[in-house]
């Protein structure tokens, strides 16, 4: 049994300058408070910020650059985030825990059209991740092409790398529900391909 209160607000602003370039600011503040039995009460706050700039180069026809920066800050607190098992190894041992995580990224992408039929793009992104004293950063890259071969027929190709950092829940959640247990994995590493 639980009672949950959630709240979010999404401020957003987009501006076009006299040359047709755009400046976009996106934000989200997301808060939740759950009062629950079975040692599952928790509170969380996530703040997302992104600034994105898009430029269309007049000097080079059909060349577009998109660049920006994002930041995601998360804080979680409660008995489900203690990361400590009780003596039977099944629940959160009635202790509270709190963790913060931050993910910062800077990115850029160039896209160019050729002959009104072919689009080619290349992009890169640098990611920084921090949680409970663990920090890492990685660059990732992507590329792609889109060829229009008919009125409604396209041939597409894409290759890219991926990066995913573990969440606070994936590393520290400690609880059970029915016959299922959820156990902490504080040494969980990020995934990259």
Instruction: Write out the chain's pLDDT in tens, 193 residues.
Output: 789 999 999 999 999 999 889 999 999 999 999 988 777 788 999 999 999 999 998 888 889 999 999 999 999 998 888 777 777 666 666 778 889 999 999 999 999 999 889 999 999 999 999 998 889 999 999 999 999 998 889 999 999 998 888 888 888 888 777 777 778 888 888 888 8
**With b meaning 16 or more CB within 10 Å and e meaning fewer, what string describes 85-120?**
eeeeeebbbeeebebebbbbbebebbbbeeeeeebe
Q: Which residues contact 133 (CB under 8 A, 6 or more apart)?
A: none
11's CB contacts (< 8 A; 6+ apart) are 25, 26, 27
Query: What pTM did the predictor assign?
Result: 0.83
The per-residue pLDDT for 156 is: 95
Residues 21-58 as b/e (b if ≥16 CB within 10 A, e otherwise) read eeebebeeeeeebbebeebbbbbbbbebbbebebbeee
pLDDT of residue 92: 60
Residue 90: what pLDDT? Answer: 61
Question: What pLDDT is stored for residue 101 in this prediction?
Answer: 93
């Amino acid at each position: 049994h639980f009672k949950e209160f959630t709240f979010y607000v999404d401020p957003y602003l987009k501006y076009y300058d006299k040359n047709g370039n755009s400046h976009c600011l996106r934000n989200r503040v997301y808060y939740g408070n759950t009062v629950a039995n079975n040692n599952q009460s928790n509170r969380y706050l996530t703040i997302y910020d992104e600034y994105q700039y898009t430029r269309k180069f007049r000097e080079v026809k059909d060349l577009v650059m998109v660049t920006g920066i994002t930041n995601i800050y998360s804080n979680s607190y409660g008995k489900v985030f203690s990361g400590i098992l009780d003596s039977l190894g099944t629940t959160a041992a009635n202790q509270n825990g709190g963790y913060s995580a931050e993910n910062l990224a800077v990115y850029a992408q160039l896209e160019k059209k050729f002959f009104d039929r072919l689009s080619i793009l290349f992009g890169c992104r640098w990611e920084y991740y921090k949680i409970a004293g663990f920090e890492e950063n990685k660059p990732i890259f992507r590329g792609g092409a889109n060829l229009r071969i008919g009125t409604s027929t396209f041939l597409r190709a894409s290759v890219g790398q991926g990066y995913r950092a573990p969440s606070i829940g994936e590393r520290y959640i400690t609880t059970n529900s029915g016959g299922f247990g959820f156990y902490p994995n504080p040494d969980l590493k990020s995934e990259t391909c």
